[in-house]
Amino acid sequence: MLDKTGIAKRIAKEVKDGYYVNLGIGIPTLVANYVRDDIEVEFQSENGVLGMGPFPFEGEEDADLINAGKQTITTLPGASFFDSSMSFAMIRGKHVDLTILGAMEVSEEGDIANWKIPGKMVKGMGGAMDLVASAENIIVAMMHTNKAGESKLLKKCSLPLTGVGCVKKIVTNLAVLEITKDGFKLLERAPGISVEEIIKATEGKLIVEGDIPEMTL
């Protein structure tokens, strides 16, 4: 089974040379740490920076330089700043190549819910609805089940939706799955996890064809 770092490491393998990438808050933020250093990638943060670098050294933090998670960051050579409108022009206009975000639920049709639990938790959608409505390449990073052990990969989402039919790939602590018109297609197993365990943890339709390889990180 993967931990959050493991999920980030596996997703980092999906990041290709020349990609502009938007990382959501949480596990997705960790992905930047594990991208191969022999490829050129630029990270976009929707609050208005392209070419995001690592966290600043202690004492060098700047209150005017943060990411979408409100964390202090640095920029890399070639970076640029812009306003929120231009930032979403990059996103809505499909100039960003890959979007990685977290989710509370994903349905077998690629619907995603990640912004609200009615009556309990309302944090808001932030930029997630704009991202999922426009991005053509969306990877969801999440745990396969919730704290109560219930599947987060469902036939239909029970929570208010963030977007419909938009998720392409999911990396969980148990598996890598692709959304197809027929349901969740199992691509890879996490180290030490059996196909049976994945079937048990998946409520939506799961397609298992042939031998499912164990993922490499």
Partner 1 sequence: MINKKVANVTEAMQGVKDDMTLMLGGFGLCGIPENAINNLVQMNVKGLTCISNNAGVDDFGLGLLLHKRQIKKMISSYVGENDEFERQMLSGELDVELVPQGTLVERCRAAQSGFPAFFTPAGYGTEVAEGKEVREFNGKMYVLEKAFEADFAFVKAWKGDAAGNLIFKGTARNFNPAMCGAAKITVAEVEELVPVGSLDPNQIHIPGIFIQRIFQGKDYEKRIEQLTVRKKL
Closer residue to partner 1, CB minimum distance, 66 or 217: 66
Which of 3, 2, 15, 22 minimizes the C-alpha distance to 132? 22
Q: Are 88 and 58 in contact (CB under 8 A)?
A: no
Q: How far is the CB of 32 from partner 1 (least distance, A)?
A: 12
Residue 45 phi, psi (nearest 5): -120, 130
> How far, in Å, CA of 1 to CA of 82, rounded?
40
Nearest approach in angstroms of CB 208 to partner 1 is 29
d(CA 187, CA 185) in angstroms, rounded, equals 6
- Stretch of 10-18, 80-88, 143-151, 186-194 contacting partner 1, by CB under 8 A: 80-88
What's 78-107 look like in SS3? EEEECCHHHHHHHHHCCCCCEEEEECCEEE
- What residues from 170 to 209 belong to the interface with partner 1 (CB under 8 A)? none
Task: Choose, by CB under 8 A, the member of 4, 19, 65, 207 that binds partner 1.
Answer: 65
Kindly state whether residue 20 participates in binding partner 1, applying the rule CB under 8 A.
no
Q: Is 54 a binder of partner 1 (CB under 8 A)?
A: yes
Is-catalytic flag, 46? yes
Nearer to partner 1, 13 or 75 (CB): 75
CA atoms within 13 A on the CB side of 2: 28
Q: What gap in Å lies between CA 106 and CA 163, rounded to an integer?
A: 10
Pairing of strands 116-117, 112-113: unpaired
Q: Which of residues 95-134 bind partner 1 (CB under 8 A)?
A: 111, 115-116, 119-130, 133-134
Residue 201 CB, nearest distance to partner 1 (Å)?
A: 26
Q: Pick the catalytic residue: 46, 105, 109, 203?
A: 46
Give me the active site residues, please. Answer: 46
Residues that bind partner 1 (CB under 8 A): 45-49, 54-73, 81-85, 87-88, 91-92, 111, 115-116, 119-130, 133-134, 160-165
